[in-house]
Structure 1
Amino acid sequence: MTAAPVAASAVAAEASRRRTFAVISHPDAGKSTLTEALALHARVIGNAGAVHGKGGRRGVVSDWMEMEQARGISITSAALQFEYGDNVINLLDTPGHADFSEDTYRVLAAVDCAVMLLDAAKGLEPQTLKLFDVCRHRGIPVLTFVNKWDRPGLDALAICDQLEERIGLRPTPLTWPVGESGHFRGLLDRRSGEMAVFERAPGGVRISAERRLTPDEAAETYDGEWHTALEEVQLLDHVDEASFRAGRTTPLLFGAAVNNIGVGHLLQTLVELAPPPSARPDASGELRDVDEPFSGLVFKVQAGMDKAHRDRVAFVRVCSGRFERGAVVTHAATGRPFATKYAQALFGRDRDTVEIAYPGDIIGLVNASALRPGDTLHAREAPVEFAGMPSFAPEHFAVCRARDTGRSKQFRRGIQQLEHEGVVQVLRSELRGDAAPILAAVGPLQFDVSAHRLEHEFGSAVRLDRLPYSLARRTRADDRATLDAEHDVEVVERGDGALLALFSDRWRLASVQRRHPELMLEPLVAGADVEA
């Protein structure tokens, strides 16, 4: 056998061990708590943190930003890589708040599966529906974990009805609750027919002890509740791996992440059912197999993870081949060589040098100032370019100015960094000048993050003045003079060179279009833009 096929088979074998998935949900459903609990069950941390924060307990490893710890919400996505048995897990925690949809959307470009987390009391919520639509569009199979079953909530069958009626996913339970929400007795393991009973760990800082009951023991101890669970679960289909990966069904599990109940079942299910990395389509639609030479997709850039060094980390999903630290690869956007001397494995804020990575792995390239979300890296001998990341249509706009003009250098550097990372879109106006760029965002919380980072990372406190615009349309240079003459309309330039016309509302836009039908005013859904 020649050397090349041996190398290719080794890459394919390593790829088959990987499970790369994101946890998605509406805010406050318990994403970060579940992320921590999964790491605890894999025994890569000794004690779980707490997002709701009792005295003396640290914060979750995936919520490392000061604002995240202060507000108790996820603001930026985080990557955790760890081994579980013979498998390598690449877990991505995502922001749930709609204001940070762009970050979540980018993460979903880098995973092979998603865990949709539902609050037992609220079921499917608006942001959850939007995120599921993204998964469906990208062909990402979804497992569903119903969280907080130890608190009062909806009926289990009602949640199943929501899944089927509202998003067209047929639930196929792997576990089913014994006892209604708020009166949780344990879990019916559908595969074994046994009942799992949990001894709750104080505060959920350690793995809950699990005890197994035979069907007869469960019936004797929990009589009516056990038989109700049996009758309910028999109304629903069994898991079919092919239909799950095709996006027609969702394996369904129940639990309580804050008490580490049902989390072990979820982790084992991900190993057994979640698809490993596979061939990925490039920008032209051609498939890049996992055993072809190295390629990777940059899906996130983050600064400020290491306060001591103020470095910048590009998060890269390895799509094909074997990555070796120190190798010189090609940056597809520029055609220039890119050195990978400083490559790291990520675990929240913590990082360790990584020498080798395989398809499915998430690596961090440090001080990667040339890289932006959506960029492709590839081996010199095997060029490829994957589709870029979308820019969401902004709905909120604010002029940003440095409070201290003597800090203008720090201000400009901070604005450039926020634009580079995609934290906000930065728009520039000829009338306002570089000292007063316009920040454009999907939601107002992005302004809070931007202002906080400008002050604490770059030493430039800022003043944000909200503008009366709520929508943007792509236009062209030939139409600029006509639009500039209109009241309550402003033409600005985005970092990629696109000209955007900003309007106060849809009625103002309609008025301008009626009087000037010749103008090009395209919604930001063409090319790389999507609606939030």
Structure 2
Amino acid sequence: MSQTRQSPDTDRAADPVAEAGRRRTFAVISHPDAGKSTLTEALALHARVISEAGAVHGKAGRRGVVSDWLAMERARGISITSAALQFSYRDHVINLLDTPGHADFSEDTYRVLSAVDCAVMLVDAAKGLEAQTLKLFDVCRHRGIPVITFVNKWDRPGREALELCDELRERIGLRPMPLTWPVGVAGQFRGVLDRTTGEFVGFERTAGGATLAPENRMSASEAAERVGAEWRDTVEEAELLSASDGDLDVDAFLRGEATPVLFGSAVQNFGVRHLLDLLLDHAPSPGPREDVHGRPRGLDAPFSAFVFKVQTGMDPAHRDRVAFARVCSGEFERGMVATHAATGRSFATKYAQQVFGQQRETVERAYPGDVIGLVNASALGVGDTLHSGKPPVHFPGMPQFAPEHFAVARAVDPGRSKQFRRGIEQLFQEGVVQVLHSEHRGDGAPVLAAVGPMQFDVVTQRMESEFRSPVSLERLPYSVVRIVADPQQRPMLHTHNSEVLDRPDGTALAVFVDRISLRSLLRLRPELRLDHVVADAE
């Protein structure tokens, strides 16, 4: 059952500009299994929002993480849907968006990155920068999102700290600016040198890392005496960092030219407090957001927000639908009537909540940077804008990625065709998969299109568990897609290696078995006009 959240933000109106200054809205990004959900738990633990942290993979005596709530997430130990968590720390409001951990769900991650002001890039101490991390960093760079780097799992064997910093500089062109430096090699983690104060911060392990790890601070002279050679090695390396332009430059960080670096262990809660403090001290607060015309909308303008995610099934007892919206300007007040920009119709906001994993609390007010969950918002879709006042406001919509996997979906039980249609439509509106129409197969056999094959697993599981309509999926051999620029050329594209499918927005897509098939047809039919499916992330 939801509860009304009691805080200074909910019982009185406040200045949106001042409230935005108190907000930090960021996402955690990385390669699968780098520890994103575990870090999310650890941050909430340090903010005293929860009393005990969970684990992605089951450890005896330790529960699962709050942000991973789908049955598939708990079974597979990965995040396959983003989660929004909000909590207070040092009189600031933290809006933390956890992202899917698998490349197959990169569309969901992209949507989340459209709603944040900063990103924390999680790097595995043993593996360094990995393929999915590089792709997500490119999205951050493209969108101008500054990045903080957290080198995770330092309590396990891994690479050298200097080597990892060199990789940041050489592979993605970011100048590393370590704010902490590890004392002890990876796997023999004793603590860190706090480069801001020059102190040694030693950590103590707790049982399974489920509770806050105590920090023991001591001066440089005390550390030299008690820690010995490892401390002296750390100090020498830190001096090298200063000589190689490795000191903190906040302006370079905000421009996306450099990244503050921290070392720690999320599962042991080592170094997590440093990350929270860094976010509050130097990460950007929400600023004016540009509309579709490129005009910045001031923080003190009337209320506006855009929907970056839609999720159903978070409350199985009620089969509800939640639209997650990022507030961009003004003050949101529960019960206010906003305008749905896409239709011009009024939208009531009576059921507005702040979501902590699967837990909810009613929100009375929200300000720029906050993420609100609008319950039973059946009229809202991903990319929609809400606003109050006039003139109308439209924020840029969400691009669709070019799918690479296709499958025909059919209801196993024809008697449940109504549930089948409703479920497929619901999953499409959430962005779980793209749904295409085939004129040869009819409405009863939609073609599902996905960036990665695991999206089909989500469809199969949710259709059976949520909509009580099991589906069979017939995989199609296509892997390349283009937009049909001239509808009159459709007949030319129906061959044994290609066909034309239609998106709900009316766009005709030509799909091909592979690039060789595409090139062969273009040689035979040079008059064909085909455009790339280009996402904003590219």
TM-score tier, shorter chain, comes to over 0.9
Cα shift readout 1:21-48 (whole Å, capped 9, x = no counterpart) = 0000000000000000000000000100
Indicate the SS of the match to 2:240: coil
Partner of residue 400 from structure 2, selected from 366, 383, 391: 391
| TM-score under structure 1 length normalisation | 0.97
Tell me how far 1:55 sits from its aligned partner: 3.2
- Per the alignment, residue 367 of structure 2 pairs with 358
Cα shift readout 1:184-212 (whole Å, capped 9, x = no counterpart) = 11110001100111111100110001101
Partner of residue 70 from structure 2, selected from 53, 65, 72: 65
Partner of residue 158 from structure 1, selected from 151, 154, 163: 163
- Per the alignment, residue 227 of structure 1 pairs with 232
- Aligned pairs, how many? 522
Tell me how far 1:348 sits from its aligned partner: 0.8
The reply on whether 1:40 has 2:49 as its aligned counterpart is no
Partner of residue 199 from structure 1, selected from 193, 198, 204: 204
The reply on whether 1:478 has 2:483 as its aligned counterpart is no
- Per the alignment, residue 109 of structure 2 pairs with 104
Cα shift readout 1:325-364 (whole Å, capped 9, x = no counterpart) = 1111111111111111110011111111111000000000
Partner of residue 460 from structure 1, selected from 463, 469, 491: 469
- Contact 1:8/1:292 (<8 A) preserved: no
- Per the alignment, residue 379 of structure 1 pairs with 388
Tell me how far 1:240 sits from its aligned partner: 1.2
Opposite residue 275 of structure 2, the aligned amino acid is L
Partner of residue 126 from structure 1, selected from 103, 124, 131: 131
Instruction: Sort the Cα spacing of 1:461 and 1:8 in 2 relative to 1 into closer, same or farther, 3 A.
Output: closer
Alignment of 1:211-222 (within 5 A): 211-222=216-227
- Per the alignment, residue 76 of structure 1 pairs with 81
- Contact 1:393/1:530 (<8 A) preserved: no
Tell me how far 1:514 sits from its aligned partner: 1.1
- Contact 1:293/1:382 (<8 A) preserved: no
More displaced 10-residue stretch of structure 1: 280-289 or 310-319: 280-289
The reply on whether 1:502 has 2:529 as its aligned counterpart is no
Cα distance in structure 2, aligned partners of 1:531 and 1:393 = 11
- Contact 1:196/1:211 (<8 A) preserved: yes
Tell me how far 1:417 sits from its aligned partner: 0.3
Tell me how far 1:426 sits from its aligned partner: 0.5
- Contact 1:188/1:194 (<8 A) preserved: yes
Tell me how far 1:174 sits from its aligned partner: 0.7
Tell me how far 1:531 sits from its aligned partner: 6.8
Tell me how far 1:310 sits from its aligned partner: 0.4
Alignment of 1:305-320 (within 5 A): 305-320=314-329
- Contact 1:8/1:291 (<8 A) preserved: no
- Per the alignment, residue 137 of structure 1 pairs with 142
Cα distance in structure 2, aligned partners of 1:40 and 1:54 = 18
The reply on whether 1:432 has 2:441 as its aligned counterpart is yes
- Per the alignment, residue 3 of structure 1 pairs with none
Cα shift readout 1:376-403 (whole Å, capped 9, x = no counterpart) = 1111324211110011100011111111
Tell me how far 1:228 sits from its aligned partner: 1.4
- Per the alignment, residue 444 of structure 1 pairs with 453
Q: What value does the CA root-mean-square deviation take over the aligned residues? A: 1.2
Alignment of 1:317-336 (within 5 A): 317-336=326-345
More displaced 10-residue stretch of structure 1: 395-404 or 215-224: 215-224
| TM-score under structure 2 length normalisation | 0.95
Can you give the 5+ residue segments of structure 2 that lack an aligned partner in the other structure? 1-11
Opposite residue 88 of structure 1, the aligned amino acid is V
Indicate the SS of the match to 1:234: helix
Tell me how far 1:530 sits from its aligned partner: 4.9
Partner of residue 424 from structure 2, selected from 403, 406, 415: 415
Cα shift readout 1:446-472 (whole Å, capped 9, x = no counterpart) = 000011010100001111111110011
Cα distance in structure 2, aligned partners of 1:29 and 1:368 = 34
Cα distance in structure 1, aligned partners of 2:390 and 2:188 = 61
- Contact 2:302/2:389 (<8 A) preserved: no
Cα distance in structure 2, aligned partners of 1:421 and 1:364 = 14
Opposite residue 208 of structure 1, the aligned amino acid is A
- Per the alignment, residue 86 of structure 1 pairs with 91
- Per the alignment, residue 532 of structure 2 pairs with 523
Cα distance in structure 2, aligned partners of 1:428 and 1:131 = 31
Partner of residue 29 from structure 2, selected from 4, 24, 30: 24
Opposite residue 364 of structure 1, the aligned amino acid is G
- Per the alignment, residue 347 of structure 1 pairs with 356
- Per the alignment, residue 184 of structure 1 pairs with 189
- Contact 2:139/2:537 (<8 A) preserved: no
- Per the alignment, residue 7 of structure 2 pairs with none
Indicate the SS of the match to 1:315: strand
Tell me how far 1:56 sits from its aligned partner: 4.0
- Contact 1:201/1:208 (<8 A) preserved: yes
Cα shift readout 1:64-114 (whole Å, capped 9, x = no counterpart) = 111000100000000000111210000000012110000000000000000
Partner of residue 121 from structure 2, selected from 116, 122, 134: 116
Cα distance in structure 2, aligned partners of 1:84 and 1:144 = 20
Cα distance in structure 2, aligned partners of 1:281 and 1:325 = 25
Cα shift readout 1:202-244 (whole Å, capped 9, x = no counterpart) = 0011000110111011111222211111111222221111111
- Contact 1:9/1:291 (<8 A) preserved: no
Opposite residue 234 of structure 2, the aligned amino acid is A
Indicate the SS of the match to 2:81: coil
Indicate the SS of the match to 1:265: helix
Cα distance in structure 2, aligned partners of 1:212 and 1:321 = 42
Partner of residue 376 from structure 2, selected from 354, 361, 367: 367
Can you give the 5+ residue segments of structure 1 that lack an aligned partner in the other structure? 1-6
Partner of residue 493 from structure 1, selected from 502, 506, 514: 502
Tell me how far 1:515 sits from its aligned partner: 1.2
- Per the alignment, residue 4 of structure 1 pairs with none
Cα distance in structure 2, aligned partners of 1:400 and 1:40 = 42
- Per the alignment, residue 271 of structure 2 pairs with 262
More displaced 10-residue stretch of structure 1: 230-239 or 272-281: 230-239
Opposite residue 479 of structure 1, the aligned amino acid is Q
